[in-house]
Amino acid sequence: MNIDRFIEARKRMGFSQSELAENICTQATLSRFENQGQIPTLKILMKLCTRLNISLGELFPKVEVENSEITKKMNQAEFLLITSEYEQAEQLMTAIKLSDIEEANTWLRYHYLNGFIMFFRQRPLIDVMFVFDQILLEKEAANTEIFRLLAYTGIGMIYSRENEDEKAEFYFNKVIEQIYHYPTKNTEDTWRVLHIVFQCGVFYAHIKELAISNALLTYAVTICSDNHVTYYLARAALQLAKNAITTNEPEETILELIYDARAYSKINRNQIALKELAQMEEEVKCTKE
């Protein structure tokens, strides 16, 4: 209960405690509310708020009202990040004011989402690095482990894009050492672990460590299966197909992976993946002819 907001309104209206309490409650009741936090009956509280021309809702913590809308936008943005709809995700995040965020873990989530969306939207990498560094420098928030792992992943991706593969591998190794032991407690945790494992798999495919890449991507598929999450199945199967092409696997093996990825993409309505898969299938069939 935001009692300070109540007292501020009383003083702004020029009421003493006894004047505000007149014909509503005793001055002692009002004093116990303001000084000791002893809340009167709802009927009395509503009458006092009406006299002060404020709503009862204004006395509840502001952060809860703000974060309900902020959390809703972040949930949508995080889902769009998973489905590669980066432009729409960016629009949602742009609508959130950082100054409106008061809870530390929401602040960390804001930066994690912004960092990856900026990366995929081809924003300057020095700006993206700054976003991830803010996560790593945060000391006050509780339950920061998953956000630190996401920041390490993001920094690894930055170095990989800059063709600094040794530096990138340093960060991806830090992630892999810990991610297998991270306990997922909710859907968002599962999404984040999948995001990390998938991006690690993509990096190791990039540096031609395909055995490691395949192990990570297979692990991602297992997570999806165990948690009944389909959003990363298509992307993991797509990368496995790319790896199979690189290692010159038989055509039937590659096409099976492509068809699996297509089925998952149709379920998730991932048009970006479907377009890439159609092109891959055509190239594979042409190459083998």
What confidence tens digit (pLDDT) does each residue in 122-154 have? 999 999 999 999 999 987 666 688 999 999 999
Number of separate domains in the chain: 2
In a domain, 73, yes or no: no
Cα angle 85, 86, 89 (rounded to 5 degrees) comes to: 90
Closest Cα partner for 286 from 255, 241, 257, 265? 255
Which of 26-30, 187-191, 193-197, 255-259 has the weakest average pLDDT?
187-191
For position 142, what pLDDT does the model report? 61
46 or 204: which carries more pLDDT confidence?
204
Task: Outline where the chain has alpha helix (H).
Answer: 3-13, 17-21, 27-36, 42-51, 62-82, 86-94, 104-120, 125-137, 145-161, 165-179, 187-206, 210-227, 233-246, 251-268, 271-288
pLDDT at 203: 95
* pLDDT band per the 50, 70, 90 thresholds, residue 42: confident
**Given pLDDT bands bounded at 50, 70 and 90, which one contains residue 228?**
low
pLDDT of 266 reads 83
Structural contact between residues 78 and 114, judged by C-beta atoms closer than 8 angstroms: no
171 part of a folded domain? no
If one compares 10 and 264, the residue with the highest pLDDT of the two is: 10
- Is residue 43 domain-resident? yes
pLDDT tens figures, 267-282: 777 788 888 899 999 8
Give the mean pLDDT of 16-44. Answer: 91
User: H or E element: which one contains 121?
Assistant: none
Contacts of 266 (CB under 8 A, 6+ apart): 274
Mean pLDDT, to the nearest integer, of 26-43?
89
Residue 245 has pLDDT above 50, yes or no: yes
Domain finish residue from 59, 76, 91 = 59
Contacts 24+ apart (CB under 8 A), 21-27: 21/48, 24/48, 24/51
**Contact predicate 248/214, CB 8 Å:** no
Is 126 part of any domain?
no
pLDDT of 108: 93
Whole-number average pLDDT of the chain: 88
Amino acid sitting at position 87: E
In this prediction, residue 221 carries a pLDDT of 87
State mean pLDDT over 196-205.
94
pLDDT in tens, 57-94: 777 654 444 457 888 899 999 989 988 899 999 999 99
Domain final residue, candidates 38, 59, 80: 59
Among the listed residues 211, 178, 210, the one whose alpha carbon sits nearest the alpha carbon of residue 196: 178
Domain with residue 18: its CATH number is 1.10.260.40
Q: What is the pLDDT of residue 210?
A: 92
Give the Cα separation of 19 and 29 in Å (integer).
Answer: 13
Query: Taking the mean position of all CA atoms in its chain, how far away is CA 212?
Result: 26
Going by C-alpha positions, the residue among 149, 62, 158 that lies closest to residue 119 is 158
**In percent, how much of the chain has pLDDT > 90?**
53
Closest C-alpha among 164, 159, 112, 158 to residue 136: 112
- What pLDDT is recorded for position 40? 87
Residue 10 reports pLDDT greater than 90: yes
Whole domain around residue 54: which residue ranges? 3-59
**pLDDT grade for 289, boundaries at 50, 70 and 90:** low
Tokens linked to 264:
């998952």
Q: How far apart are the first and last CA of the chain?
A: 73
Cα distance between residue 87 and residue 73, in whole Å = 14
**Within a domain: 259:** yes
- Best CA proximity match to 111, nearest among 93, 89, 85, 87: 93
187 is a domain residue: no
Q: Which of 59, 75, 107 is the last residue of a domain?
A: 59
Asked if the structure places residue 87 within a domain, the reply is no
Position 158 in a domain: no
